[in-house]
Structure 1
Amino acid sequence: MAMQECTAWFAASADTRYSVVVPIIGVQGFRWAIDHDKWQGRVDSIKPVFEEARIDLGKSAIDKEVVDKVWDRIAPGLASQFDSPYTIPIIVPRPLLILNGKEDPRCPLPGLEVPVSRAYKAYEEAHCLDNFKLIAQPGIGHQMTPLMVKEASDWIDRFLK
């Protein structure tokens, strides 16, 4: 079974039946975004949820505290033990291709440095470094492109023969 969508890494980290994983414009570091004040792109995509939380918390604006509380409420552990630095390495040794826009405001590339570093190390230790790859397409924000679709299809074809 292969999976190719933004939540692919979550599913694959929990279910080993996914044999090839290709998250497209979806891998992000939730804690990294909060700690580095880079949460706005993701928050803006589902802003009404955060606005309600802001009101409930008596805040005049959405801030780090609001973001942290919303993530903890709607998906406990999302910005801690289930965040990408911990869940991406669990996928090893299964093939994993992460596809991202280099300028993606919802999934900022700097927020992937730790999970990608941990993944490289885990794949290297498992002697299957060829099973991991990150492609960050230059000039692209949060959008799936024909190049990403081609890379995803080629990756899946390569490992599901």
Structure 2
Amino acid sequence: MLVIKKKIFPLILFIGLVSTIIGCKTLLAPEYDKAIVETVTSTSEKTMSFLAKVSEGTSKSNFSEREKEYNDLIGAYDALKIKAKARPIPKNTATKKINELLETRGNSLSEDYPSAFAFEEISKTLKKMKETDNESGLKPTAVEAFKGQIETFLDQALTYESFLKR
């Protein structure tokens, strides 16, 4: 009987430990936030529409007609950055895996808050675009360059936020 107890005890201990571990909820990444995804989706649509509108280039003389759209878009991405950073983020392999996925696409994010970093970069790009538009207008090639940079960061943000929906 003592021999059976010695053989069964480690098995019972192992099963108990596994049960305890399975019952624990570990935060591997920030919580998925549907509101952030919905906002970035609608804001990205507005951004792409705005970029299409100015794709043929702009003139400094009518910058005031576009200034409100710039401000609205910049404000929206700044607000998204704040919302994304409001979530706690753990240090673990899940966030590392997300960056590995992005690196395979030619992108990577080194910040603790990948989508917040991307939103900040989009905002900076729009600010630079606005400044250039105000000072001298935009040539079609400049619009394409700004658009390419915005698309890269939108891809990063959407990839990260979509990954969180698990």
Q: Please give the TM-score of this superposition, normalised by the length of structure 1.
A: 0.29
Q: Please give the TM-score of this superposition, normalised by the length of structure 2.
A: 0.28
The structure that is helix-richer by fraction is: 2
